[in-house]
Amino acid sequence: MFRLGWGILVCLFLALAAGCYHLRLEPAALPVQRAVTARSAADVFDRVRDVLVQDGYAVERDERRDNGEGGVITCGYRHFSTRAGGISQPVGGRLYFHRLMITVNGGEEGAEILMESTGLEIRSSYVYDEGGAVRSFTKRYPYEQYPGMFDLKAVDRELARVRGMLEAALRQGER
What one-letter code names the amino acid at 171? R
Q: 163 in a domain, yes or no?
A: yes
CA atoms within 13 A on the CB side of 3: 0
SS3 39: coil
Note down the domain range covering 104: 28-174
Residue-wise pLDDT tens digits, 28-84? 899 999 999 999 999 999 999 999 999 999 999 999 988 878 999 999 999 999 987
The span from the CA of 143 to the CA of 117, in Å, is: 11
Structural domains of the chain, count? 1
- pTM of this structure: 0.79
Is there a domain that residue 18 lies in? no
* Any domain includes 137: yes
- Picking from 82, 61, 91, 86, the residue whose alpha carbon sits closest to that of residue 73 is 61
Q: Is residue 147 part of a domain?
A: yes
> How far apart (Å, rounded) are the C-alpha atoms in residues 170 and 175?
9
Whole-number pLDDT of residue 14: 53
| Assigned domain for 17 exists | no
Selected residue with higher pLDDT from 137 and 165: 165
What's the confidence (pLDDT) of residue 175? 45
Residue 166 banded pLDDT, cuts 50, 70, 90: very high
Does residue 127 lie within any of the structural domains?
yes
| Residue 52: CATH number of its domain | 3.30.530.50
3-state helix, strand, coil in the chain (%, to 5): 30, 40, 25
Q: What is the DSSP string of 53-78?
A: HHTT--EEEEEE-TTSSEEEEEEEEE
What whole-number distance in Å separates Cα of residue 96 and Cα of residue 115? Answer: 17
